[in-house]
Amino acid sequence: MRGFFITGTDTGVGKTACTAGLAANLKQRGFDVGIMKPVQTGSEKTCNGLVSVDALFTMIVAEISDPVELVSPYRLEPPLAPSIAAQISGVNIEVHKIDHAYRELCKRHRFMLVEGAGGIMVPVTGRFLMADLVKMLNLPVLIVARPGLGTVNHTLLTIEYAKSRDIQVAGIIINGLNESEAGPAEKTNPGLIEELSGVPVVGIIPYDADLDVDTYKPGRITELVGAGINWEKMSLPGPEGDNHGCKGN
């Protein structure tokens, strides 16, 4: 295993912030990290074309420089599910193009973090779901979840669906915990999720009011992820060695 696919229990749970924080910390630990956002919806329209906000944020935080065509091969403006955003934009998403970009990034880096769009059952194109993309790239998943009421159900459903597709779930990251407002649900959810799923909660990331992905304000995300992740639970390989994250390796 030479990488992770970062998915979430829903859209807006903080996948991008967690991906950026993980990438920055892994680099500090000696890993040669590449990142990828295969399909970005809600892209920012600029004079130079559509910009993948999520990918650019992560590249800035982790100080990663790769061609945008590889990092985010599909950048779509409508803030919708990829298949619908592509349909509205008149774009045909070709999964082999994503696979090719991933393989090229694997040649450049020894460890890959790939951020999905929305949750694991979001349609990429036609009936090809985000889960199918995970299978194609042959990566274990990290699930980013909210801390509050309702997250047990959402997280367990995501885990069970992943397992039904023979996708390895490497761990769960609880993101955005506001310690000062944490009630019984927030305090008991991590343990309950671990107990019911058998999947480790590998990190709890505090809420950061200064963090804003859309305006490229990283706040203290690198520091918070560094302190909030239980790195032993992550079962990471050594930073050196062959890249086994790519399909077929």
> Can 15 be counted among the known catalytic residues?
no
Could you tell me if 70 and 104 are in contact, meaning their C-beta atoms sit under 8 angstroms apart? yes
Region of residue 241 (phi > 0: left; psi between -120 and 50: alpha; otherwise: beta): left
| Cβ neighbours of residue 163 closer than 8 Å, sequence gap 6 or more | 169
- DSSP assignment of the chain equals --EEEEEESSTTSSHHHHHHHHHHHHHHTT--EEEE-SEESSPEEETTEEE-HHHHHHHHHHT----HHHH-SEE-SSSS-HHHHHHHHT----HHHHHHHHHHHHHH-SEEEEEEEEETT-EEETTEEHHHHHHHHT--EEEEE-SSTTHHHHHHHHHHHHHHTT--EEEEEEEEE-GGG--HHHHHHHHHHHHHH---EEEEEEP-TT-BGGGTB-TTHHHHHHHHB-TTTTT---SSS----STT-
> Which one of the listed residues 27, 37, 107, 233 is annotated catalytic?
37
Beta bridge partners of 3: 112
Known catalytic residues? 37
